[in-house]
């Protein structure tokens, strides 16, 4: 006797797709605003990082060209003559500041060089604080969205009067997406911040070493950057001529 077997029903496709757009579409407005801020912060990270890398590439190239020319200078006058041809180089701006002091006093020259290097540090580190702020704040902003999303999920569970997985999972997923986007904004910000800060530190260290050499060269040459000091004024001992004598 043969038994009749009913054909087996095809297994249901239980594969779940992670759809971020769908999750965000069902999220609450505070979570959506938080995600929007994090996406904006992520875009800022990439824009600032690209701009800083381009700036450092330009500063590094101009500084290397200026230092190669400065090594061939044997006097302060020769060093000063390089300033006009390399206005974009940090070293050229330092030498320009030394020339403006019009002195050969080593202490004053060192103080002027230190002040000029501080200005170069501020110029090189511009916008870098924004990267640091995003790197430190983005995870906490994402965590805020997650906490609010979880509270909203509990409210939905209470309204549905069920803690079943189909009710809990979408709500928790909507809450966790803000933390994921916060980390996606913070991790590149940390990496780029450290890389840019390292390059800025190397550039400034080389600038400080070169500035010490330029200060010594100016002090030894005695030029002081003032052409008028090379030709001192001579006081005449003769009385001025008188006209219309009696």
What is the token pair recorded at 193?
């911040």
Say if residues 99 and 82 touch (Cβ distance below 8 Å).
no
What is the token pair recorded at 191?
């990496």
Phi/psi-derived region of residue 224, left when phi > 0, alpha when psi is between -120 and 50, beta in every other case: left
Pick the closest to residue 189 from 234, 245, 132 (CA basis).
132
Give the pLDDT score at 85: 79
Domain ranges of the chain: 20-226
Report the SS3 class of residue 237: coil
Give the pLDDT score at 183: 93
- Which residues lie closer than 8 Å to 24 by C-beta, 6 or more apart? 31, 32, 35, 174, 177
Q: What does the DSSP 8-state code read for residue 244?
A: S
Say if residues 168 and 157 touch (Cβ distance below 8 Å).
yes
Give the pLDDT score at 22: 65
pLDDT tens per residue, the chain (246 residues)? 445 444 444 444 445 555 566 666 666 787 788 888 999 999 999 999 999 999 999 999 999 999 998 888 888 888 888 888 787 899 999 999 988 888 888 889 999 999 999 999 999 999 999 999 999 999 999 998 888 878 877 887 788 777 777 767 777 777 788 888 999 999 999 999 999 999 999 999 999 999 999 999 888 877 444 443 443 434 444 455 555 544
What is the token pair recorded at 117?
């290097």
What is the token pair recorded at 3?
């038994």
Say if residues 135 and 193 touch (Cβ distance below 8 Å).
yes
Longest Cα–Cα distance of the chain, Å, equals 161
What is the token pair recorded at 86?
């390399």
Half-sphere exposure of 80 (CA within 13 A, CB side): 16
- Which residues lie closer than 8 Å to 40 by C-beta, 6 or more apart? none
What is the token pair recorded at 185?
């904004």
Length reported for the chain: 246
């Amino acid at each position: 006797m043969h038994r009749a077997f009913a054909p087996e029903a095809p297994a249901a496709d239980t594969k779940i797709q992670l759809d971020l757009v769908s999750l965000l579409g069902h999220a609450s407005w505070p979570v959506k605003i938080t995600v929007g801020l994090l996406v904006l912060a992520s875009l800022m990270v990439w824009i600032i990082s690209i701009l800083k890398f381009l700036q450092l590439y330009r500063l590094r190239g101009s500084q290397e060209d200026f230092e190669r020319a400065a090594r061939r200078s044997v006097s302060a006058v020769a060093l000063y003559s390089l300033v006009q041809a390399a206005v974009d180089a940090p070293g050229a701006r330092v030498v320009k500041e030394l020339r403006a002091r019009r002195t050969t006093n080593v202490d004053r020259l060192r103080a002027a060089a230190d002040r000029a290097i501080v200005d170069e540090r501020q110029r090189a580190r511009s916008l870098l604080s924004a990267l640091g702020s995003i790197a430190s704040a983005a995870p906490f902003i994402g965590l805020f969205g997650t906490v609010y999303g979880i509270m909203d999920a509990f409210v939905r569970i209470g309204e549905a009067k069920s803690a079943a997985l189909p009710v809990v999972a979408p709500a928790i997923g909507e809450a966790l997406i803000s933390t994921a986007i916060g980390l996606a904004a913070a991790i590149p910000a940390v990496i780029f911040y450290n890389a840019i800060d390292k390059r800025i530190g190397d550039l400034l260290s080389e600038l400080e070493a070169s500035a010490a050499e330029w200060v010594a060269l100016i002090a030894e040459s005695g030029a002081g950057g003032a052409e008028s000091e090379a030709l001192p004024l001579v006081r005449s001992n003769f009385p001025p001529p008188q006209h219309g004598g009696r």
